[in-house]
A and B are shown apart, each in its own frame.
Chain A
Amino acid sequence: MKGMSIRIKITVWFSLALIAVVFFTYITVISVGNSILQKSVRDNLITAVENNVDEIVFYKDVTESKPDPADDFIEFGNGYLKIDDDYLDQVNGIYTALYTDEALMLYGENPISKESVNLKFTDSQIQKIKVSGTLYYIFDRRLSQDGTQGLWLRGIVSEKQGSVQMSTISKISLIIMPLLVLLAIIGGYAIAGRALKPIREISDTAAKIEKGGDLKQRIDIGKGNDELHRLADSFNQMFKRLENAFESERQFTFDASHELRTPVSVIAAECEFTLEQERNADEYREALKVIERQGKKMTNLINDMLDVTRLETRADSFARENVDLSELVASTCKDTALIKQKGITLKYSAESGIHVRGNALLLSRLLTNLISNAYRYGVENGNIFVSLKITEGEALISVEDDGIGIEKDEQDKIFSRFYQTDSSRSNEGTGLGLAMVYEIVQFHKGTIRVESESGKGSRFTVHLPAQQ
């Protein structure tokens, strides 16, 4: 059975079972039927003989008998035996013959009279005799009416009388049963095929995905609610998840290779140019500085990309705990305020005792990204203002600057990965800072809004559900 398809296995199995059932049914029917038939043959024999008993009457005088022209008369003893015309010599293969004690046949028919002549008469008993391979049943009846003493009625019937009917049954069975079995096998094979079709669809689709790597493929087996449809649904869900995972992986690879091209080309070009000929120490130092700068850029880029991807695809790997947001905002602002960049002043105000459920590392990353963004796009001697307060059960963080601002049509794009406004290109940024902020806000089931006017500054407001 190994190596066969399930369809063939099912078909072979039930075909064999069906054939066995049919075979045993046939045997049973034949054997039971046979014995029933034999019994009915014997019963018929007795009935036929008993019926004929009454048809034989003894008369001393013929005239007494109100004879019918069809009746027969036989001279017997000192009178006559009237054989009524209802007497049946032969009916349904049952022969009846009238005998004397001396086994002299007076009337009727016996197909095996010669062979059975030596068979003793036994009243109301069935005897068997085999004549040239055929079994005969013989039933004798002693006549006991007046004047008929010493006479016997002998009924003879061949067991073949039943066999004829039996063979008809078996003939019909032998033709019809195999036909039915064949029909059942064909039907079963077809139904097994249909029932297994969804499985074939599933395996075909899986094979297609395996071969072509096209995760957009879905199993389509129509509508339904049986086990197979549920299986197909589960598979489709799995394919979808896989597709998404692969898609984000692919996107990551694409972004990574794309974003890393520029720093790599700077390094390659710098090396190629510098190595062309002997340079002086200053030139070498300058080249190395460029390489170092680009190397740092690549490091930042890779770290940011990994962080964003991890947030996107495996957010559950970040633990959630009770975070003292007031403490976090205050300490982050205190630290960053120490970094004097472009003469920008950072001020903050944080209401105390505000807690959220989340990840402290991510929340501090969120704040740092927003603040460094404000520094990056701030103007010389500008201001940054960070505030934390609680309103209607929501913690509200806002980071405000009076920097270059963001154009209206760009405001909804700034949270996309690698989107950089024209004015921010060729800056230190990796293009991932705000994308990460967005993901962190999502992780904390919060919202983020940006209000900005080009040339006047921007305000980012983050709403997070607060812990009571």
Chain B
Amino acid sequence: MRILIAEDEKDLNRIITRKLTSDGYSVDSCFDGGDAIDILSYTDYDAIILDIMMPGADGFTVLRRLRESGKNTPVLFLTARDGVADRVKGLDSGANDYLVKPFSFEELSARLRAMTRRSYGFSDNVLRVDDLTLNSASHVVKRGEKVIDLSAKEYALLEYLMMNRGVVLSRDKIENHIWNFDYEGGTNVVDVYISYLRKKIDGGFDKKLIRTVRGHGYVLGDSDR
């Protein structure tokens, strides 16, 4: 799950980035509204955390430009403005959620989870494909009754595949959603992680859930095509 953070307070930006990275998200950050508009014009994110008061362009402008470009990426406003009028304005301008500073990471994480699963059309924290379950709150993954231990990246990859179950995902798309700009690995990083994941998810089970679609990419669960 790839997330963009636009927040001009450098310390705050840094700590949110570190926290979300350690939670398994791939995170990009910028300190300026103008930069955020640029980045959003060529990158797709699963969620965006926006400060309202920023140099370059304020959060409202960034959000407006995003929606104008036809993207429905969930947006969370993170701001010091706590008035009811500010909240209403924030939500009415197209934000999906609104969190007032100071906040707790627990709440920020929960809101991010809620926002992203809603955008993928789920209302439950537990994703299911066949007998494979993934709890996005506790990060517990099970195949049947067997608990599967995953690294942060493997978890992120599986979550992304499960959110898009039945949809064939290209290597590029997967790479863009799981790895951020800082990653400068080889192009086969997706294949490598898919193979790790296969061993843990499908190893020892008759029914293989992760399938390779030749020339296209990978799919989890039954493909539509």
Which residues of chain A have a CB within 8 Å of any CB of chain B? Answer: 257-259, 261-262, 264-266, 268-270, 272-273, 276, 290, 293-294, 422-426
* Cβ proximity bits B1-35 to A, threshold 8 Å, 1 near / 0 not: 00000001111101110110010000000010000
A-contacting 9-mer, from B53-61, B148-156, B168-176: B53-61
Question: Is A422 a contact partner of B55 (Cβ separation < 8 A)?
Answer: yes
Instruction: Tell which of A265, A276, A426 touches B101, judged by Cβ atoms closer than 8 Å.
Output: A265
User: Smallest distance from the beta carbon of A259 to chain B beta carbons, Å?
Assistant: 7
Chain B residues with CB under 8 Å of A290's CB are 11, 14-15
Residues A269 and B16 in contact in the complex (CB < 8 Å), given A262-B9, A290-B11, A294-B11: yes
**Structural contact, B55 and A265, CB atoms closer than 8 A:** no
Indicate whether A426 sits within 8 Å of B104 (C-beta atoms), given known contacts A262-B9, A270-B11: no
Give Cα A264 to B8, complex, Å.
Answer: 15
Which residues of chain B (131-186) have a CB below 8 Å from chain A?
none
- Distance in angstroms between the alpha carbons of A261 and B14 in the assembled complex: 17
Distance to closest chain B CB from A292 (angstroms):
11
Query: Which B residues, 47 to 104, have Cβ-Cβ distances below 8 Å to chain A?
Result: 53-56, 80-82, 100-104
| Interface contact B80-A426, CB-CB below 8 Å | no
Name the one of B19, B53, B56 contacting A269, with C-beta atoms under 8 angstroms: B19
Report the nearest A residue to B51, measured CB to CB. A262
Interface residue B120 (Cβ < 8 Å from any Cβ of A) = no
Cβ–Cβ contact B105 & A269, under 8 A: yes
Q: Which of B56, B80, B105 contacts A262 (CB 8 A)?
A: B80
| Most chain A beta-carbon contacts within 10 A, residue among B10, B53, B56, B102 | B102
Tell whether, in the assembled complex, residue A258 and residue B81 are in contact, meaning their CB atoms are under 8 Å apart: yes
A-B contact pairs, 26 of them (CB 8 A): A257-B82, A258-B81, A258-B82, A262-B80, A262-B101, A264-B101, A265-B101, A265-B102, A265-B103, A268-B102, A268-B103, A268-B104, A269-B12, A269-B16, A269-B19, A269-B102, A269-B103, A269-B105, A270-B11, A273-B22, A273-B105, A290-B11, A422-B55, A422-B56, A423-B55, A425-B53
Whether the pair B54, A266 counts as a contact (CB closer than 8 A) is: no
Tell me how far the C-beta of B18 lies from the nearest C-beta in chain A, rounded to whole angstroms: 6
Q: Contacts A266-B12, A425-B53, A426-B8 given; indicate if A261 touches B19 (C-beta within 8 A).
A: no
* Those 4 A-B pairs whose CB atoms lie nearest each other, nearest first: A265-B102, A261-B80, A265-B101, A426-B8
Residues of B within 8 A of A262 (CB): 9, 12, 80, 101
Interface of B is mostly: loop
A257-B83 Cα distance, complex, nearest whole Å = 12
Contact partner, A266, options B11, B31, B55, B56, Cβ 8 Å: B11
Given known contacts A266-B15, A425-B54, is B102 in contact with A259 (CB within 8 Å)? no
Contacts of A422 in B (CB 8 A): 55-56
B interface residues, how many (CB within 8 angstroms): 25
Please report the C-alpha to C-alpha distance between residue A294 and residue B14 in the assembled complex, in whole angstroms.
Answer: 13
Residues of B within 8 A of A424 (CB): 55
Query: Do the beta carbons of B15 and A258 come within 8 Å of each other?
Result: no
B residues near A, CB below 8 A?
8-12, 14-16, 18-19, 22, 31, 53-56, 80-82, 100-105
The distance from the CB of B84 to the nearest CB of chain A, in whole angstroms, is 14
Q: Complex formed: what's the CA distance from A364 to B220 in Å?
A: 70
User: In the complex, which of the residues B11, B14, B101, B103 has the most CB atoms of chain A within 10 Å of its own CB atom?
Assistant: B11
Chain B residues near A294 (CB-CB < 8 A): 11
Question: From residue A207, how far is it (CB to closest CB) to chain B in Å?
Answer: 29
Most buried by B among A261, A265, A270, A423: A265
Please give, as numbers and ranges, the residues of chain B lying within 8 Å of A293 by CB-CB distance: 11
4 new A-B contacts, CB < 8 A, other than A261-B80, A265-B80, are A262-B12, A265-B103, A269-B15, A426-B31
| Chain A residues with CB under 8 A of B9 | 262, 266, 426
Q: Closest Cβ of chain B: how far from A287's Cβ, in Å?
A: 9
Q: Are A261 and B105 in contact (CB under 8 A)?
A: no
Contacts of B82 in A (CB 8 A): 257-258, 261
Residues of B within 8 A of A270 (CB): 11, 15
With both beta carbons as reference points, the residue of chain A lying nearest to B103 in the complex is identified as: A265
Given contacts A266-B11, A426-B8, whether A261 and B53 have CB atoms under 8 Å apart is no
Say how far B56's CB is from chain A's closest CB, in angstroms.
6
Chain A residues closer than 8 Å to B14, beta-carbon distance: 290
Knowing A293-B11, A426-B10, say if A272 contacts B104 (CB, 8 Å): yes
Report the bound CA distance from A66 to B101 in whole Å. 136
Q: Considering the chains assembled together, what is the distance between the CA atoms of A259 and B80 in angstroms?
A: 8
From B18, B22, B55, B102, give the contact of A425 (CB < 8 A): B55
Residues in B with CB closer than 8 Å to A257 are: 82
| CA of A422 to CA of B54, assembled, Å | 7
Q: Is the CB of A261 within 8 A of B101?
A: yes
B208 to chain A, nearest CB (A): 35
Q: Give the docked Cα–Cα distance between A293 and B11 (Å).
A: 9
CA distance A259 to B53 in the complex (A): 12
Residues of A within 8 A of B8 (CB): 425-426
Give Cα A458 to B93, complex, Å. 36
CB distance from A224 to the nearest CB of B (A): 41
- Cβ distance B139 to chain A, nearest Cβ, rounded Å: 14
Q: Which residue on B lies nearest to A424, using beta carbons?
A: B55
CB-nearest residue of chain A to B18: A273
A273 lies within 8 A of B15 (CB): yes
Determine the chain B residues whose CB is within 8 A of the CB of A272 once the complex forms: 19, 104-105
Distance in Å: Cβ of B105 to nearest Cβ of chain A? 5
- Distance in angstroms between the alpha carbons of A430 and B71 in the assembled complex: 36
Q: A422 vs B82: C-alpha distance in the bound complex, in angstroms?
A: 21
Interface centre among B9, B22, B53, B81 (most CB of A within 10 A): B9
With A272-B105, A422-B56 already in contact, the answer to whether A261 and B11 are too (CB < 8 A) is: no
Contact A265 B12, beta carbon cutoff 8 Å: yes
